[in-house]
Amino acid sequence: MLREIVLDTETTGTDAKNGDRLIEIGCVELINHVQTGKSFHRFVNPTRPVSQGAFAVHGIADAFLADKPLFADIVDAFRDFCGDAPLVIHNAPFDVGFLNMEYARLGAAAPPPIDLAGVVDTLQLARRKHTGAANSLDALCSRYGIDTTRRTKHGALLDAQILAEVYVELLGGKQTSLGLAMAEMDDPVVLGSSGGEVAVIGPRRLRHRLTEAERMAHEAFIGTLGSSVVWREYLGADETA
C-alpha cells in the first residue's frame, strides 16, 4: 500500500528567509494514488502582517488570523497526520522552505527538517512531461480538464485537493483507468469541537472518459476475438468492456 500526502500552504509573503510566515496548511491523503477523503487543515497565526501581495492571492486577512493557533500549537497534529508518508507538493522548494523555517523556530523541540529529496515535486513532473509549456496549477487544470470553478482565491486545502487530481493525471490517470473512486471535493464534514480542522469527505466515482462511440468500438473489437479469450474465464461478458 502506497500512502502519500498532497500538501499546500499559504503564507504572509514569498520570502521565508526574511521573516514571512505560514498562515495555512492543507493536506489530502492518497492511498495508491486515490484520494481517501481524509484531510488535514489549519489556519495559523503568523504574528506578523500579511503582505498586500499575498492578500491579493489568497484573501486571508490579519484580523481573521488574530485568534488562530501558533504553528507550535499545531505542529504535532500536522506531523501525526502526515506520518512517514512522502509529501506531494507543487513547487516543493517554496512550501518545504516555509515548513523548515517554522520548524527551526521551535528550537530544541524542532522536528527534523523535511528533505526535499524525499518530496514529489509535481512542478518538476509537469516540466518533464510538458516541456516548454505553462505548468502552473491553473495551467495543468486547464490541460487536464479539472474543474476549478470553486477556486476564486488560493486556499491551501482546496489547492491540495485540486493538486491531488493533477498529480494522478501527471502519472497517467491510473485511478481512472482502473475504475477506482476519488473523493468528492464538497464542503468538508469537520471532526471535533475545537476548531475542527480534520475533515472527512465522501467518495464519488470519476466520470468515464471513453465516449460512447469508443466504448462501442471496443465492444465490437472484443467480439472479433471469439470465445477463447483468456479473460472470459474470469469475467462475465458484461465486464469485458
Known catalytic residues? 154
Of 111, 33, 118, nearest in space to 71 by CA: 111
Of 27, 37, 62, 33, nearest in space to 169 by CA: 33
Of 9, 58, 4, 64, nearest in space to 36 by CA: 4
Residue owning grid cell 527551526? 104
DSSP 158-173: HHHHHHHHHHHHHTT-
Please, what is the angle between helix 122-129 and helix 156-170, to 10°?
Answer: 40
DSSP state of 117: G
Chain length of the chain: 241
In the chain, beta strands by DSSP E: 3-11, 22-31, 34-43, 87-89, 120-121, 181-183, 189-191, 198-200, 203-205
